[in-house]
């Protein structure tokens, strides 16, 4: 077995090898993947569970409901800032202490929120919680570098299933616990679970070396530069931003539809309908395995067509009654599966671009996705005001059609030429230790030769890269000007026979 610093030189046109994890125990098994998925569930659930207890916060702190909603907004705003400011550090800091520290800070922030005496303190603690609970977008690129390429899609799907489970179950968990024990109980329980996970990861997560040693300002700027130089990153960001915008528009206006005159239900009906999306947890691992076998392009096509179909299935929901509710259930389920499965394909594509910059790639990707979701919520509200539920469905269809048109116009398997900023790259340490390539480039395919030509080739002396072993007539054309001059001088001084 050859060492990492004495690999056989790669032939031209083959992708550069990815950085191998360093440190003992760098390979992660199924148990570690499930632990990371649970961590993603808790981290993402921390962002969403305050939504269900906002009325309880208003009653407990004796503030208006719209003022209590600021505690929810603070967590989401902090989460967006944390993605942009902290996730790029996943390429510069060792993952094990970095994740353990973030989870510990998240647990302490949740503890402070659960003990907040007034609303301003709760808002500040919520913002700090959002900034530090960015473990999920850090774990995804970390796990992609700790598993073989043929398992990357399946592992990404498993981690995304954990995030989806946390997003869906956090509302039910906090609402049930808050009704029984008060609004502080969900914060305190979440703090205890997060601190336990911080200790578990500090002891069990494999120790790996950071992929980059650049200063922090350069890492922040790198996320923006990657958007400019990586076409596949821009492509994935466009897909996810468009589909997530339609997803956010539908779910933002769904509560308005269910509480309106067409159905006359309460706000909890939308939360119960969200539990139907739990089936997405079973679909994303399947999508990941399909990405491993077929590549992200075909999976993107299926997901975009599914999201476009979901917009049509949701349209009869405006009629109300049992048929309308069935259409809403089927449409939201199809939209959830399409959006989350497409995210698996998009992340698998971007993680293959730059093995040494996966966290920075994920930063750019997640920032664009959440910007698209925020824009979709605003556009969906405007569409519902002017055109009702059919306008929201038309908006979701138009956004998905935009991404689908971009995908159809991009030929599958199209890759930029080697030597550009879009190929796989080695880390700086591996680039320094990598041996020089042979000057010869092997032909892609040898043409068949006639039998006589094969006999002449068999009797001809072998030649190396310097022309040794060839007769003078064969090497005359390979000499430089000085060599040709020496050859002429030799022939002029040779005595005639």
Name the most confidently modeled range: 36-40, 141-145, 454-458, 488-492.
36-40
Q: Are 380 and 250 in contact (CB under 8 A)?
A: yes
Q: Percentage of residues in the chain with pLDDT exceeding 90? A: 21
At residue 305 the predicted structure's pLDDT band, cuts being 50, 70 and 90, is very high
pLDDT for res 271: 60
Token digits of residue 116? 């907040």
pLDDT bin (cut points 50, 70, 90) of residue 2 is very low
Cβ contacts of 419 within 8 Å, gap of 6 or more: none
Give the residue-averaged pLDDT of 457-464: 46
Average pLDDT, the chain: 75
CB-count exposure of residue 263 (10 Å: 0-12, 13-18, 19+): middle
Residues of the chain above pLDDT 70, percent: 74
Contact in structure between 58 and 67 (CB atoms under 8 Å): yes
- Cβ proximity of 349 and 296 under 8 Å: yes
Q: Decide which of 2 and 291 is more confident.
A: 291
More confident residue, 327 or 377: 327
* pLDDT reported for residue 479: 44
Q: What is the pLDDT of residues 65-114, one digit of tens each?
A: 667 777 877 887 788 888 888 888 877 788 888 999 999 999 999 999 99
* 353 compared with 267, residue with greater pLDDT: 353
Rounded to an integer, the average pLDDT of 488-494 is 46
Residue 36 is predicted with a pLDDT of 87
pLDDT per residue as tens digits for the range 308-347? 999 999 999 988 888 999 999 899 889 988 998 898 899 8
pLDDT top residue among 8 and 120: 120
Note the pLDDT of residue 63.
83
Higher-confidence residue of 174 and 44: namely 44
Please report how many Cα atoms fall inside a 13 Å half-sphere around the Cα of residue 382, on the Cβ side. Answer: 8
How many Cβ atoms are within 10 Å of 62's Cβ, its own excluded?
A: 9
Structural contact between residues 136 and 85, judged by C-beta atoms closer than 8 angstroms? no
Tell me how far apart the terminal alpha carbons of the chain are, to the nearest angstrom: 59
């Amino acid at each position: 077995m050859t060492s990492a610093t004495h690999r056989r030189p790669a032939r031209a046109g083959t992708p550069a090898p990815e950085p191998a994890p360093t440190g003992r125990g760098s390979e992660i098994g199924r148990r570690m993947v499930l632990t990371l998925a649970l961590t993603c569930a808790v981290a993402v659930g921390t962002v969403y569970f305050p939504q269900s207890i906002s009325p309880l916060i208003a009653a407990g702190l004796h503030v208006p409901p719209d003022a209590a909603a600021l505690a929810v907004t603070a967590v989401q705003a902090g989460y967006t800032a944390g993605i942009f400011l902290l996730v790029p550090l996943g390429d510069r800091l060792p993952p094990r202490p970095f994740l353990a520290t973030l989870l510990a800070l998240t647990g302490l922030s949740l503890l402070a929120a659960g003990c907040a005496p007034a609303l301003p303190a709760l808002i500040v603690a919520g913002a700090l919680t959002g900034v530090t609970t960015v473990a999920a977008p850090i774990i995804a690129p970390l796990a992609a570098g700790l598993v073989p390429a043929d398992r990357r899609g399946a592992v990404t799907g498993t981690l995304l299933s954990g995030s989806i489970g946390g997003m869906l179950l956090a509302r039910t968990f906090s609402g049930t616990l808050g009704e029984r024990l008060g609004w502080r109980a969900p914060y305190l329980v979440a703090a205890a679970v997060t601190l336990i996970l911080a200790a578990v990861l500090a002891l069990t997560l494999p120790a790996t070396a950071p992929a980059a040693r650049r200063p922090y300002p350069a890492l922040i700027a790198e996320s923006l530069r990657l958007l400019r130089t990586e076409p596949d990153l821009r492509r994935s960001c466009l897909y996810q931003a468009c589909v997530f915008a339609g997803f956010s528009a539908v779910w933002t206006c769904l509560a308005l539809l269910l509480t309106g005159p067409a159905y006359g239900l309460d706000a909890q009906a939308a939360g119960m309908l969200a539990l139907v999306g739990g089936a997405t947890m079973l679909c994303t691992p399947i999508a990941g395995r399909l990405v491993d076998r077929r590549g992200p392009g075909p999976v993107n096509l299926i997901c975009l067509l599914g999201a476009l179909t979901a917009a049509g299935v949701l349209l009869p929901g405006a009629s109300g009654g049992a048929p309308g509710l069935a259409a809403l259930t089927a449409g939201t389920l199809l939209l959830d599966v399409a959006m989350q499965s497409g995210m698996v394909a998009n992340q698998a594509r971007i993680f293959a671009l730059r093995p040494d910059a996966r966290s920075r790639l994920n930063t750019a990707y997640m920032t664009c996705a959440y910007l698209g979701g925020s824009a979709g919520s605003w556009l969906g509200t405007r569409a519902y005001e002017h055109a009702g539920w059919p306008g929201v469905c038309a908006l979701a269809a138009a956004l998905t059609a935009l991404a689908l048109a971009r995908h159809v116009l991009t030929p599958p398997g199209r890759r930029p030429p080697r030597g550009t900023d879009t190929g796989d790259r080695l880390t700086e340490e591996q680039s320094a230790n990598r041996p020089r390539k042979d000057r010869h480039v092997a032909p892609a395919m040898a043409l068949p030769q006639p039998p006589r030509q094969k006999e002449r080739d068999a009797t001809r002396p072998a030649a190396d890269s310097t022309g040794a072993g060839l007769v003078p007539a064969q090497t005359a054309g390979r000499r430089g000007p000085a060599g040709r001059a020496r050859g002429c001088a030799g022939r002029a001084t040779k005595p005639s026979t």
